[in-house]
Structure 1
Amino acid sequence: MITNSDPLSPTASSIRIVLHPSDFSEASLVAFAHALKAALISKSKLVLIHVSDEDETSRTEFPAVRETLERWKLLPPGSPRSAVTELGIDVAKVIGHGSDPVKGVLGYIEQYGADLIVLATHHHGLDWLHKSISEPVARKSREMTLFVPTGSGGFVSLTDGSVSLRNVLIPIAAIPQPQPAIAGAARLIQQLKCESGKITLLHVGDNGSIPAVVTPEVPGWTWHKMTKQGNVIEVILEAARQADADLILMTTDSRNGFLDALRGSHSERVLERTWNETILHGEAPVSAHFVTVDRILTQLFLDA
């Protein structure tokens, strides 16, 4: 059963620190655009971190925040550094020394915290993906993580900061509770100021087992329901193609449900095969105090 509700009332954002690990690659620049957009929306601190065993790393190699904001028409050309803080964000550039970037970034999170991590990964070699999911420190920090694979444009333009999000797919099941993902999708759409689009709720299983959910009213957006049977991952990917999905948003239990289905080789299959989808995978404990409108614990997998 799907029922409508009043729009979500605005509440304070729980994102205080957006962390972007950068390897100074083209893929990292696209990920940087998403991190910067997230920091602007949440009025939070943006931390750019580079971990390397090289001694010659300079802060000038980091993405240029002010130049990007000027290109996005949020700052006039030649703005001083203080103009960035006037937009409600703070920026820090951190250089870490070590041979293991994953260990270095997780160590930073453990010491200083992070509410959202946005990073680039590659189609070949998904160590970032596996470790960020499996490392205990990642779960303890309850961070949100956005993966942007090489070649991905994501849904935030590096050129002008515009957002392209039209179709969202949300796989739902009785367990884990799907409502946090539904509320999170509505919140994301509102925060990104996406004027119109379609949200499709996908249930893999029998019609009789589809959970009752409440769909918030989002101006300009419509809700649709789809029920299919088959292998979870195969059905999700096929439904994403049918719906022309820009984003697949999933809320899962930290030990059961979609998370286990997407680990290991399944994760690689999803990332390697969804060349035209953006996949957001949410890891949300069933405990209600962790699953709130503004704090869905998520992992995001982006592909374009």
Structure 2
Amino acid sequence: MAAFNLTPSDQSMFILMGIPGLEYAHIWISIPFAISYFIILLGNVTVLFVVGKDQTLQKPMYLLICMLALTDIVISTSSLPKALCIFWFNWKGITVAGCLTQMFFLHTVSFTQSAILVTMAFDRYVAICNPLRYATILTNTRVAQLGFVGLMRAVLLMLPLPLLLSRLSFCAKRNITHTQCEHMAVVKLVCGDTTVNRMYSLVAAFAVSGLDLMLIALSYGLIIRAVLRMSSRKAHQKALNTCTAHVCVMLTSYTPGFFTSLTHRFGQGIAPHTHVILASLYLLIPPMLNPIIYGAKTKELRDKVNKFICRM
């Protein structure tokens, strides 16, 4: 199919180009995208359904896993259906308002995920260092409150990004060399000074990521100190095993995000399709692997999911 009939000067639309330089392979590239999206929805919806149906799983740890599953669904659904429309039907047009909305959701959910990972680290710290007080320190209500605070922090920090961009004028050439409206990709289309936008996004990203990683490192530092004080080798292993899933999820979440952010800001010599592929990996890998990691590493959840599958 032909792309939307847009003129370069159309002031109401942007054009998402997909993966520049690899347009001839869009159909083939769409296959892993579609399979990944199916796995993301299947895995995360299954986790939400099983935890929601089973009263024994409605505890702080599993509430946090459900929060993570929700953010995985939102961040992938905000971007992957549009990417598949580009690959399959060549539907590249997106309104300016739609583009800024997508950008807001992508970055807000990303920051919310970071807050959830911090809360998960705190959960593991309390479970290992203060197990007798776990039920009083971390209740479902308190976890929900922490999740809400993380969401509000993300909304307040990310809201200025689309507002700042909406006040600027864009150049006549409105091609975004991407499958989604990533902030830095949209900033490159502005005709005028974008110093405020660039500096604000950079400071916000490093402030949030830096603070969250410091809190996570502090939690794990205290966990390691507590584990080393344990006399039993078996107790060492059991305590560390409870953290394995969270560590794996952190690695899959933060690593692609850092590479994507750094290449957009400092990788001028990197080919455009490399930028897009790295950003796509950030949107595909963590949401796809998170339910698999928690399903494999958390015995109680794994057993409940297996029981649910056997009943089908």
What TM-score range do you get, normalising by the shorter chain? under 0.3
Structure with max Cα Rg: 2
Instruction: State TM-score, norm by structure 1.
Output: 0.21
Select the structure with the greater relative contact order (CA < 8 A; seq sep ≥ 6).
Answer: 2
Q: Which has the higher helix share?
A: 2
Instruction: State TM-score, norm by structure 2.
Output: 0.21
Q: Which has the higher strand share?
A: 1
